[in-house]
Amino acid sequence: MGYLFIVNPHSRNDEVKKRWPIIEDEIKKRNLDYQVEFTKGRRHATEITKEHINDFDVFVSCGGDGTVNEVVNGLAETNKVLGMLPLGNGNDYANLLHVRGSYVQTLNILEENKIAELSLGVATADTKHYFVNIAETGITSIIAKASYTELKWIKGLPKYYILGLKKISSYKSVPAYIKVDDYERKTKLILCAVGLGYRFGGGFNVLPGNQPYFGDFQVCIAGDVPKIKWYWMINKIKNGTHGNIKGVDIIRGKKIEIETETPLPIEGEGEVFSENSTTAKFELSQSKLKIIVGKEFLKNKIEFETRNKK
């Protein structure tokens, strides 16, 4: 079995670049058939994956959630396998799949080769884009977009918290129409998150209890909430206790459509993939993605599927 390790050297405030020689020493001890490629910029991991798609069996994302998303967009609609060495600041998706711990522990998980076939989301706006955890638009996508150009001297999660304070104060909710299967709503949109997992942004529990083997999306729509309550609402989102706030709906569905009066950026796993569209559609891909997961996650998935067999 051949492994391609796709390494984002700038993950975790450039720490991965410094630590990689030590990590690779551990890989060498395991006698894996492998190759390493380093990314050189945004979306390069997707290019690397597509370029080598016929050369390897397992494509290992070495970075944070953004690197995972880029590798996924190279693997989508193929029979290849995604592996993860979670080396970023947030690692929300790896945590969801119980790929946790030190790099030694996550390499152990990689070698155990417990594979789950999991749902893959497709977002269509300016472009077609795949996601495995959460795609969203609104205030949090504004923050994600700003992170590319603002406060470059601040690294990691503190940067996002500071940008959050800054952008919340200036953000004006946008008139929007949202349709989730048979549900329809017109609102002044603050946030719409469409997910297969439950947390984003380094631990914000926006879709409580959600799992990527449920077979549909969970959707959080926040709108028409007075601005004076936004900071309080976001703190509730972090704790996953926002479902009872007036103006917040958490629902399930398989097809989501959003129309906004003015364009809003849309992001998935922290990667902004649309900036100029006023319409977006989210659906499940017809094919699933093969992913190496932790044993506990695979056990939970099997138990869920056993309980829900018809």
In percent, how much of the chain has pLDDT > 70?
96
Instruction: Give residue 12's pLDDT band: very low, low, confident or very high (50, 70, 90).
Output: confident
What's the number of domains the chain is made of?
2
pLDDT in tens, 238-270: 899 999 999 999 999 999 999 999 999 999 998
Q: In the predicted model, what is the mean pLDDT of the chain?
A: 93
Is the pLDDT reported for residue 163 higher than 80?
no
Closest CA to 233 of 214, 211, 205: 205
> What's the DSSP call for residue 200?
B
The predicted structure's pLDDT at residue 208:
96
Q: Is the same domain home to 215 and 157? A: yes
Q: Return d(Cα 260, Cα 276) in angstroms, integer.
A: 11
- Residues 268, 134 contacting (CB under 8 angstroms): yes
Residues pairing with 38 in the sheet: 7
Q: Is the same domain home to 259 and 148? A: yes
Q: Is the same domain home to 95 and 240? A: no
**Domain encompassing residue 268:** 123-284
| pTM of model > 0.75 | yes
Q: Is the same domain home to 128 and 161? A: yes
Q: Is the same domain home to 156 and 193? A: yes
Q: Is the same domain home to 94 and 128? A: no
Residue 95: CATH number of its domain? 3.40.50.10330
The predicted structure's pLDDT at residue 143:
82
Q: Is the same domain home to 107 and 173? A: no
Q: Is the same domain home to 71 and 166? A: no
Q: Is the same domain home to 152 and 268? A: yes
Task: Tell me, rounded to whole angstroms, the distance of Cα 110 from its chain centroid.
Answer: 20
Q: Is the same domain home to 130 and 92? A: no
**β-pairing, 266-268 with 81-86?**
unpaired
Q: Is the same domain home to 279 and 291? A: no
Q: Is the same domain home to 219 and 82? A: no
Is the pLDDT reported for residue 310 higher than 80?
no
Instruction: Give residue 167's pLDDT band: very low, low, confident or very high (50, 70, 90).
Output: confident
